[in-house]
Amino acid sequence: MVKDKETILIDTGRPGKVKNILKEIESLNIKPKNIKHILLTHHDVDRIGNAALLQKETGATLWASKEDIPYIRGDKSRPGVKKLGSLYLSVSDFFMRVKKPEKIKSYNDHKMDDLEIIPTPGHTPGHVSLLYKDILFAGDLVRNSNGVLKMAPAIMNADEELIKESILKVSEYSFKWVCPCNGEPLEIKDEWKQLLNNIAGN
């Protein structure tokens, strides 16, 4: 994503994908050193797996929510099934020499110029969604399942009721596209309304 002549990378994939990510970036005619900010939507392993190495390659400033930073640094253990993610990171540390990021800035407010940081906790304690113009980068707030927006399975969420509240909160914003971490980008017509109806029916 490019804004105000600064290139921003959102999330960094699971460990071991640095070369693939850099290759993809270069295929867009973007030099890695032109990336000025790396924004993390939340602390899950498949979002932070290459953060430290990409930060080193690009020199970018790394950002995350203050609630999720302790999990990213390994100062706090991930709850529930997400402990398996911590185990995966430990194994990756050993075999792939994956480093945990050290220098992480917290989103001090909810806006960075024309990019708005929307706190959307529930999937993780500090999950955020990112709104740029008419595009919502939703992280794991929702997923696109064959054109239908859904929440992540309950076992993957830190707080099922809180994520529903976050979805309701996001409905107050105006956007035409949703780019979730899981599934293809989706142009919004009635899909968000259907999601809200599904939540209300549960």
Q: Over the stretch 14-52, which tens digit does the pLDDT of each residue have?
A: 888 899 999 999 999 999 999 999 999 999 888 998 999
What pLDDT, on a 0 to 100 scale, did the predictor assign at position 96? 46
Please tell me the distance from the alpha carbon of residue 112 to that of residue 137, in angstroms, as a whole number: 14
**Is the predicted pLDDT of residue 127 greater than 70, yes or no?**
yes
**Is the predicted pLDDT of residue 154 greater than 90, yes or no?**
no
Residue ranges matching CATH 3.60.15.10 in the chain = 2-106, 115-201
The 10s digit of each residue's pLDDT in 52-91 is 999 999 999 999 999 999 999 888 876 655 545 454 454 4
Residue 67 has φ and ψ, to the nearest 5°, of: -70, -30
Per residue, what are the HEC states of the chain?
A: CEECCEEEEECCCCCCCHHHHHHHHHHCCCCHHHEEEEECCCCCHHHHCCHHHHHHHHCCEEEECCCCHHHHHCCCCCCHHHHHHHHHHHHHHHHHCCCCCCCCEECCCCEECCEEEEECCCCCCCCEEEEECCEEEEECCCEEECCEEECCCHHHCCCHHHHHHHHHHHCCCCCCEEEECCCCCEECCCHHHHHHHHHHHC
Task: Provide the whole-model pTM.
Answer: 0.88
Asked if residues 107 and 65 have their Cβ atoms less than 8 Å apart, the reply is yes
- Provide the token pair at 163: 């994520």
CATH number for the 2-106 domain, one of 1.20.1300.10, 3.40.50.300, 3.40.50.970, 3.60.15.10? 3.60.15.10
Amino acid 171 reads S
Mean pLDDT of the chain: 86
Residues constituting the chain: 202
CATH code, residues 115-201? 3.60.15.10
What are the residues facing 127 on neighbouring strands? none
In degrees, to the nearest 5, what angle opens at C-alpha 169 toward C-alphas 163 and 174? 130
Lowest mean pLDDT among 97-101, 148-152, 164-168: 97-101
Please tell me the distance from the alpha carbon of residue 190 to that of residue 45, in angstroms, as a whole number: 32
Please tell me the distance from the alpha carbon of residue 32 to that of residue 9, in angstroms, as a whole number: 10
Please tell me the distance from the alpha carbon of residue 91 to that of residue 130, in angstroms, as a whole number: 31
What pLDDT, on a 0 to 100 scale, did the predictor assign at position 4? 52
Asked if residues 92 and 16 have their Cβ atoms less than 8 Å apart, the reply is yes
